[in-house]
Amino acid sequence: MSIFDRIFGHGGGESSEDWVPRGESYRRSLNLSDALKCFDKAINLDKENFQALNYKAVVLQGFSPDRTQDAVSCYNTLLAVCDNLLRLDRSNCEALNYRGLALFGLNHVKEALECFNRALSINSQYPEAWYHKGNALSALGEPDEALECYDMALGIDPTHAMTQ
């Protein structure tokens, strides 16, 4: 039994949101098999869980080359969820941010950057969007602009996990 299981209980939580941090803990310790199980459980409980869909795709990308198509499928599902929510509310910053993450994962970096910019035009105090915009700019060969974005994220939330 893992330390996580001992602290939080072997069965985990009963809501989708309870399974995401558990999966993220496994992912960070490189226990990708258990991470996938947790993200799958979260998705089974809530088919529109942005974080679980994104983390599942990230894990699948890193799992092995034969899981690449599974990751693409997961990113496409995430895109569909985000697009559905954006049809209802075009100013949904979280949906824009996760849409950008899905596009980034599919290597559509310029389109991802547009999503992060749209999210920031709605809420300039959204550290995740600044961080992900920085990653997109870095991937596009714009390191100085990327650093400015990371600084913006840190300025909003100096303790934010992604900016550490």
Over residues 40-62, the pLDDT tens digits come to 999 999 999 999 999 999 999 88
CA–chain centroid gap for 130, Å, is 13
Where do you find CATH 1.25.40.10 in the chain? 1-88, 90-164
Q: Are residues 104 and 138 in contact, defined by beta-carbon separation less than 8 angstroms?
A: no
**Which segments in the chain show pLDDT lower than 50?**
1, 3, 6-7, 10
pLDDT of res. 63: 77
pLDDT of res. 164: 54
Nearest partner of 98 among 79, 113, 85, 73, judged by Cα: 79
pTM of the model: 0.87
CA–chain centroid gap for 119, Å, is 15
pLDDT of res. 64: 73
Choose the CATH number for 90-164 among 3.40.50.150, 1.20.120.1770, 3.30.565.10, 1.25.40.10.
1.25.40.10
CA distance 118 to 115: 5
pLDDT of res. 11: 53
Straight-line distance from the first to the last Cα atom of the chain, in angstroms, rounded to the nearest whole number: 29
Q: What's phi and psi for 151, nearest 5 deg?
A: -60, -40
Domain 1-88 in this protein, CATH class: mainly alpha
pLDDT per residue as tens digits for the range 74-90: 999 999 999 999 999 99
